[in-house]
C-alpha cells in the first residue's frame, strides 16, 4: 500500500512540474494567493489528469490541494505549508527554472524513475510524504 501511495505522490509532483505555469505558480505559492490550473500528462503509459489549487492561508499555513485521476483512481492531496516550507520549495523551483532555461533537455515524464532525481520532485516529496504537512485520500472509481 505504501508503494502505491509513493507512486501517486510521484505522479502528483510530476504533474505539478509539467503542468504548472512556472512563474505564475511560483508567484502564487510564494504569496499563498489563489491559483488554479489543470491539465493532462502521459506517464507510465497512463493519462494523468491533475487539478492544482492554492486556496490561501489557513492561520499560519498555506493550503495547497491537488486532485489527480489516473487508471480509475481518484486521489486528492492537501498540504498545509509553513512560510519556511514555502520558501524552500519556491527557491528550489526557481533554481531549477534557471537551469532549465539554459538546458536543451526537456523534463522526462515517460516514467516515474525518470523524475525521481529531479530537485523539484525531491523537495515536494519531502513534504508530500510527511503526514503532518500533507494528507492524501484515494478512491477507486466505479467502472461505467
pLDDT tens digits, one per residue of 37-48:
888 776 667 777
Q: What's this model's pTM, rounded to 2 decimal places? A: 0.78
What 3-state class would DSSP assign to 138?
A: strand
Domain count, the chain: 1
Q: Is the pLDDT of residue 116 over 80?
A: no
pLDDT band at 63 (very low <50, low <70, confident <90, very high): very high
pLDDT band at 144 (very low <50, low <70, confident <90, very high): very low
Residues with Cβ within 8 Å of 34's Cβ and at least 6 positions away in sequence, in order, are 28, 54, 55, 56
Q: What is the span of the domain harbouring residue 133?
A: 2-140
Amino acid at each position: 500500500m505504501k508503494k502505491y501511495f509513493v507512486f501517486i505522490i510521484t505522479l502528483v509532483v510530476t504533474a505539478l512540474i509539467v503542468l504548472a505555469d512556472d512563474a505564475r505558480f511560483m508567484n502564487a505559492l510564494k504569496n499563498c494567493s489563489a491559483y488554479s490550473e489543470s491539465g493532462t500528462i502521459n506517464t507510465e503509459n497512463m493519462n494523468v489528469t491533475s487539478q492544482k489549487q492554492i486556496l490561501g492561508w489557513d492561520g499560519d499555513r498555506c493550503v495547497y490541494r491537488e486532485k489527480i485521476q489516473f487508471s480509475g483512481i481518484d486521489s486528492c492531496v492537501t498540504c498545509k505549508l509553513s512560510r519556511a516550507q514555502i520558501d524552500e520549495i519556491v527557491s528550489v523551483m526557481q533554481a531549477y527554472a534557471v537551469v532549465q532555461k539554459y538546458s536543451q533537455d526537456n523534463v522526462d515524464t515517460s516514467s516515474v524513475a525518470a523524475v525521481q532525481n529531479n530537485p523539484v520532485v525531491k523537495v515536494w516529496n519531502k513534504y508530500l510524504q510527511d503526514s503532518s504537512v500533507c494528507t492524501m485520500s484515494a478512491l477507486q472509481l466505479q467502472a461505467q
